[in-house]
Structures are given as C-alpha cells and as structure tokens.
Amino acid sequence: MYNLLKGKKGIIFGALDENSIAWKVAERACEEGAEFVLTNSPSAIRLGNIEALAEKTGASLIPADATSIDDLTHLIEKATQILGGKIDFVLHSIGMSVNVRKKRPYTDPNYDFTAKGADVSAVSFHKLMNVLYHKKAMNQWGSIVALSYMAAQRVFPDYNDMADNKAYLESIARSFGYFFGRDYKVRVNTISQSPTPTRAGQGVKGFDGFIAYSDKMSPLGNATALECADYTISLFSDLTKKVTLQNLFHDGGFSNMGVSTAVMEKFTEE
C-alpha cells in the first residue's frame, strides 16, 4: 500500500457488514496507516457484524444515533480522547427510507416516514458537521465525505424519497462545506457512487435490474464497493487538499451517458 493516511485519525459511520462501502473504507484506511473509531446506531450494531471489523482493524466502536446531537457530541468527545487529538477524516455512510421499507410509493408516502428518512439520511449530516464545527474537532486540511447517488439529479422512480434525501445531503455538503473551508480549511465532498449491492441498496425495488442497466450504460462498468473505498481514501489523503464542495461521480461514466450501444442492442433485439 501507499501509507496515504499514515498518522491520520478518523471516524467512520455506517459499516454494517462485509458488503458495506463503509466496511471497505475502514479496511482500506487501516491498510493505509490510519487510526479510527467506528460508529453506527445501536440497532444497526445488533443487526450487523461491526464488532468483527473493529477487531480486524484495531478500531474502537462507539454506538451513536446520528440523528441525536447528544449522541454525536458524546461520540466526538470520546473519539478525540481515544485517538489522542483532533480528527483528520470522517465518512458519513448513512441512509434509510421507511417509505421504501414499508413499500409506500413516492406518490402516496407516509409523511412521518418521509421526515424520519430525511433526518437519518441527510439532516444527520448537518448535525454531525454542526458538532464537529462548534467543537473545532477537525484538523486543518481534514476531509469530510458523505455517500450519495445520482438519483439526486435524475429520476429513478423506485428510489422513492431517498432521491430527495440525497439531493438534500449534497446541498448540505456544499453549504456547510463553505463554512468549514472558510473557517477551518476543512474539505467537504459527496461521492455519487454506482448502484452497489449493499444491504440498503438491495432493499430498493428492482435493484438487480437497476445494477444490470447501469453496468450496460457505463463505459467502464459499475464501480464496486472496494473501488469506492479507494476513491474515498484519496479524498481523505493530502493529495486532494483543494477539492471541496463537490459532488464527485464515481460510476464508470454512467452520469455522462445518454445511451450506450449495449443498451441500444438490448432494445433492438428481434
């Protein structure tokens, strides 16, 4: 490996199991020399296998509800204590739609479910940065990254209100990223990743067809969770010190495609 994160300290939100992008990021961060704290909600920790990841990477595990300012405050205070100083990188890899889980269509949602999904998927990112900002918990030239998806810009009907959540997430990254950059020289970006077979992704209706279509549209094919982890590590490193306020597409070229020959051939088959 390249020691891209040697001496750096961070917090990684959202690792659940071996298919999680956050899980792959944690493995790669460890390989690149970083120390970090892992965190997820208490219920997600019970459902997943994050303790094994903590043991593998030598990370501490601190449960936290990312929608709770109190939990986030405790997390940041404990993490900086454990890591022995300020934070260099943070990954926000959290998303949830109750409407999707309950099979409520976009045209007839339960608005309490809508509010809950927005709080978990997007507002939690604002709350996280709020605590980091006011506690001055980030080192200069630190990096904060959240994971997004292209449904923030284009229509994917079965992605439901998660599309709105991702659009909100990206807006928060730009708006809060301005203040973080101006005041503390901290970068804030989002990565718009290819559809990836994580546990959350597979909860979307028609997900297998979704992945197949995207792969046929993308000149380089879909980006894997591990490849997304590699890209995230580059954004945590000092090689991208002036990259901020960006939504960065990591999707094999899908985001710039209108149609591909593979898709056209599929539609013109006799």
The Cα angle at residue 78 between residues 72 and 83, in degrees rounded to 5: 120
50 is in an annotated binding site: no
User: What is the torsion angle, in degrees rounded to the nearest 10, for the CA atoms of residue 10, residue 138, residue 126 and residue 124?
Assistant: 30
Catalytic residue chosen out of the listed positions 2, 106, 111, 159: 159
166 is in an annotated binding site: yes
Sheet containing strand 187-193, edge to edge, reads 60-61, 35-39, 9-13, 87-92, 138-148, 187-193, 247-250
Pairing mode of beta strands 187-193, 60-61:
unpaired
Contact 207, 159 (CB under 8 A): no
Whole-number Å distance between alpha carbons of 187 and 88: 10
Whole-number Å distance between alpha carbons of 42 and 57: 20
Contact 75, 13 (CB under 8 A): no
- Note the maximum CA span of the chain: 65
Catalytic residue chosen out of the listed positions 106, 149, 213, 231: 149
Whole-number Å distance between alpha carbons of 262 and 209: 14
159 among known catalytic residues: yes
Rounded-to-5 percentages of helix, strand, coil across the chain = 50, 15, 35
Contact 131, 137 (CB under 8 A): yes
21 is in an annotated binding site: yes
Instruction: DSSP letter for 123, please.
Output: I
43 is in an annotated binding site: no
14 is in an annotated binding site: yes
Annotated binding residues, written as ranges, equal 14, 20-21, 94, 166
Active site residues: 149, 159
Annotated binding residues for NAD(+), written as ranges, equal 14, 20-21, 94, 166
